[in-house]
Structure 1
Amino acid sequence: MGTFLLLMAEASAVASELAEEAGNGGFGLNTDIFDTNLINLAIIITVLFVFGRKVLGKTLTTRRENIETAIKNAEQRAAQAAQQLKEAQQKLAQAQAEAERIKAAAQENAQAAGEAILAQATVDIERLQAAGAADLSTELDKAIAQLRQRVVVQALQKVESELKSGIADDAQQILIERSIAQLGGEV
């Protein structure tokens, strides 16, 4: 409406300038607003109202439909985003539960492995102790056998030295009789 008044004021100013020039002799315009400009303005306003209303109505209807479509699309995207968030939260909860299960299983496996290692170490220690005891027993038997062998060697050496020095006749006679008795004969 303010634009209409501005146009009307401009038209009056132009008309008065033209009227002054017409009075100077030349081209003239009728400056009576009610005769000329009011009819023109009424026609222009009517045309704008009739055709502009349709165009403006179509434009506003199109704009309204676009806005409604955009709002519906935004609501759909928001619903999809909420659904995706819900699914992601469920997956996160499942992943955390799986991680806890894996962690618990790993701790159980570590504990079982530790116990198995301790049991194996105990078995190995017992085996090593048994092997050590067996080695000690074997070494003891070897030492006893060596001592016996030395005693036999020393006894033989003593007997040889006594034999070399000679045996008394009655001792020789006793030795011969014993040997015969052992062989199963009579003296």
Structure 2
Amino acid sequence: MNLNFNPLETNLVNLAIVIGVLFWFLRGFLGGILERRRSAILQDLQDAEARLKTASEELTKAQSELAAAQQKAEQIRIDGQKRAAAIRAEGEKRTISVMAAIKQGAAADADAEASRIKDALRREAAMAAIDKVLTDLPGRLDDAAQSRLIDSTIRNLENA
């Protein structure tokens, strides 16, 4: 056996031996580490895909809920407009009925005032006629005519 003391050759042989030994002993260890790393990466990818799928489903669900909420909001807005129109129409009807009642009240007041004025005018006319008769009658009636008038009035009262 011949020993080679050449450092270049010796280092290469040593290096080859070390690499061979490392490969032989660390093959299982490094292979296990790499396999676990590969499994972890695959698991992370599967988890990410599952989260993506879940997120996509939740997004779809949220979008459908948003669409439903928008439809409901639109329906509420339409119902509100209908309700406002109904309230406005009801207010107009009440206003018209109140105006009609006021008009009827005013007409009744006007009729009552006209009737009161007519009665007052009749009384004034009657009082004026009575005053005129009282002033003119004594000069027109003599005692005989006055007696005949009284007798005629008494007979009329008895017959009535």
TM-score exceeds 0.5: yes
Amino acid paired to 1:44: V
Larger Rg: 1
SS in 1 for 2:5: coil
Residue segments in structure 2 that go unaligned for 5+ positions in a row: none
Change over 3 Å in CA distance of 1:161–1:38 after alignment to 2: closer
Q: Which amino acid aligns with 1:93?
A: A
Q: Which residue identity is paired with 1:118?
A: E
- Pick from 31, 36, 44 the counterpart of residue 70 of structure 1: 44
The corresponding residue for 2:79 is: 105
Distance in structure 1 (CA, Å) of the matches to 2:31 and 2:152: 154
What is the root-mean-square deviation of aligned Cα atoms in Å?
2.4
Q: Distance in 2 between matches of 1:95 and 1:38?
A: 76
User: Across the two proteins, how many residue pairs are aligned to each other?
Assistant: 156
| 1:137-167 residue CA offsets vs partner (Å, 9 max, x unmatched) | 1011000110111112222322333466684
Cα pair distance change 1:38/1:85, threshold 3 Å: closer
- 1:115 aligned partner: 89
1:169 aligns with 2:148: no
> Separation in 2 of the partners of 1:38 and 1:179?
172
1:127 corresponds in structure 2 to: 101
Percent identity among equivalent residues? 34
Distance 1:38 1:120, change over 3 A: closer
Separation in structure 2 between the aligned mates of residue 98 and residue 33 of structure 1, nearest angstrom: 85
Deviation string, structure 1 residues 65-109 (Cα, Å, up to 9, x no partner): 110111011011101101110110110111111112112212221
Point out where structure 1 has 5 or more consecutive residues left out of the alignment: 1-28
> What is the letter of the counterpart of residue 105 of structure 1?
D
Structure 2 distance, partners of 1:178, 1:83, is 117
AA aligned to 1:90 is: S
- Partner secondary structure for residue 70 of structure 1: helix
| 1:34-65 residue CA offsets vs partner (Å, 9 max, x unmatched) | 5x445433321221111232232122112101
Pairs within 5 Å for 1:1-187 = 30-31=5-6, 36-162=10-136, 167-184=141-158
- The higher-RCO structure (CA 8 Å, 6+ apart) is 1
Greater CA drift, 149-158 or 81-90: 149-158
Letter of the 2:120 partner, please give it: Q
Q: Which amino acid aligns with 2:153?
A: S
TM score, norm. by length of structure 1:
0.73
Q: Which moved more, 1:90-99 or 1:120-129?
A: 120-129
